[in-house]
Amino acid sequence: MSSDALPHPDRVHRLEGALNLRDLGGLVGSDGRRVRRGRMFRSEYPGFADLADGAAVRSLGLRTVVDLRRGTEMSFECVPWAEHGVDHHRFPLSAGGESSWRARYHAYLTSRPDTVVEAVRLVTTAAAHPVLFHCAAGKDRTGVVAALVLLVLGVSEEEVVADYVLTETSLDLVLERLASAGPYAEMLAGSSLDDQLPRARNMQGLIDWLAERGGAREWLQANGLSHGHLETFREQVLER
């Protein structure tokens, strides 16, 4: 399916070397206010940063990158962000003993909640914007952080799920790259595109799990993010 057939196709950035890059801006948050564009981006491994002498990094104006990958992944490939004048921070999300590709998404929140919270803390800090957060495919770990951020902003469950599902439009190309890349080749061996699709029920499962605990905002506050931090974030990122 073409991304043009899905909600908010204008949020997708078609840059050379970017397969699954999009802006969280443009979605509608609380009180009908929209999320500001150009503040928060999500992507797969951002190999586009090394092309054309970092032209895409400059076009996005990136100040901060939040890397959600494990150390073995980063040691295999990592953009030299310092050369681009960008601060790089790694918060490796883990689903514990579950497969990082097939885990129920709340496993990321129960295995290492502190790491999830610290990743969200930086993404929701306006001084770090524009910020890009990513994992390998930009689907699972990235999807969890995106969902938490958008739910805090009051974006509807339907829009959060739609943003997650939007990865489907580029997943075949993302998996093709990963299947031939070091640490991912064995992980993806015998796995089909259908196995890896970002199905709506996967994200809805996380949203329902959070709802049982009072919602994303309540979960984040219970695990270390302050009410004041989240209120400041909302006021700085939602258009007036």
Is-contact 36 61, C-beta < 8 A?
no
What residues does 131 pair with on adjacent strands? Answer: 40, 64
> Phi then psi for 63, rounded to 5 degrees?
-110, -35
Residue type, 22: R
User: Which position among 135, 165, 207, 225 bears the catalytic label?
Assistant: 135
What stretch of H or E contains 197?
none
Distance of CA 23 to the CA centre of its chain: 10
Q: What angle do CA 203, 15, 32 make, to 5 degrees?
A: 45
Query: 154 burial class (0-12, 13-18, 19+ CB within 10 angstroms)?
Result: middle
Is 135 among the catalytic positions?
yes
Is-contact 150 133, C-beta < 8 A?
no
The residues annotated with a catalytic role in the active site are 135
